[in-house]
């Protein structure tokens, strides 16, 4: 059985991000997956990295322990958040800080000076669903889509994940109900295409 971890970061419970999150859960369950699903805001996750977790220090935070364990157990990692100023909300950034670190997502040899680290997420598939309100040509020409670089290269690639997929749905602010339904169908199709290959 394929196990999936689905993480949402959006503070408004009626947002389209929440609709994506719910469709992810429903779709993965229909595909026969075991699903771990977390709304970071609703669960009261603390995104602030404490001094005690720097380097390879183990955490005492039960949510961090749970999220990290589920990430390592899952073969499909799904993240849902809006594009705010070219980066995720602080809540998701804090999740990245506290979960995508040693000894969970990668590790390094402290005895080797300058060791860049070794990813521990090989064999997993990472999927990101983003929402935005910037037109595609402006996003590419002026901003160079920083979220693509962050997720695909800096996170998934560094942590050993050779397979990833990112979808950006825009422009959400003036989208119709019909358009949003088409986007949700794309979410389901994307998940299906990756889940069946694991």
- CA torsion, points 21, 66, 124, 158, in degrees to nearest 10? 100
CA distance 75 to 195: 9
Cis amide leading into 105 (omega within 30): no
User: Nearest CA to 8 among 77, 96, 81?
Assistant: 81
| Contact in structure between 95 and 9 (CB atoms under 8 Å) | yes
Q: Binning pLDDT at 50, 70 and 90, where does residue 55 land?
A: confident
The predicted-structure confidence for 174-185, as pLDDT tens digits, reads as follows: 999 999 999 999
| Averaged pLDDT, 44-52 | 96
Per-domain boundaries in the chain: 3-195
Q: For residue 80, is pLDDT > 70?
A: yes
Residues, the chain, total?
198
More confident residue, 135 or 101: 101
User: Nearest CA to 4 among 12, 13, 23, 103?
Assistant: 23
CA distance 26 to 125: 19
Fold for domain 3-195?
Rossmann fold (3.40.50)
Q: Binning pLDDT at 50, 70 and 90, where does residue 114 land?
A: low
CA distance 81 to 65: 22
């Amino acid at each position: 059985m394929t196990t999936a971890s689905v993480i949402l970061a959006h503070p408004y419970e009626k947002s389209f991000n929440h609709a994506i999150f719910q469709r992810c859960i429903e779709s993965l369950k229909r595909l026969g997956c075991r699903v771990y699903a977390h709304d970071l805001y609703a669960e009261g996750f603390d995104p602030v990295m404490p001094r005690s977790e720097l380097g390879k220090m183990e955490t005492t935070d039960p949510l961090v322990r749970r999220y990290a364990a589920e990430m390592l157990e899952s073969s499909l990692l799904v993240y849902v958040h809006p594009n705010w100023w070219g980066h995720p909300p602080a809540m998701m950034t804090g999740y990245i800080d506290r979960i995508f670190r040693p000894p969970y997502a990668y590790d390094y040899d402290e005895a080797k000076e300058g060791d860049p680290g070794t990813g521990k997420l090989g064999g997993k598939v990472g999927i990101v669903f983003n929402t935005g309100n910037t037109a595609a040509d402006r996003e590419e020409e002026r901003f160079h889509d920083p979220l693509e670089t962050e997720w695909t290269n800096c996170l998934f690639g560094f942590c050993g994940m050779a397979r990833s997929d990112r979808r950006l749905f825009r422009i959400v602010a003036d989208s119709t109900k019909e358009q949003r339904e088409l986007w949700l169908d794309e979410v389901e199709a994307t998940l299906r295409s990756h889940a069946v290959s694991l």
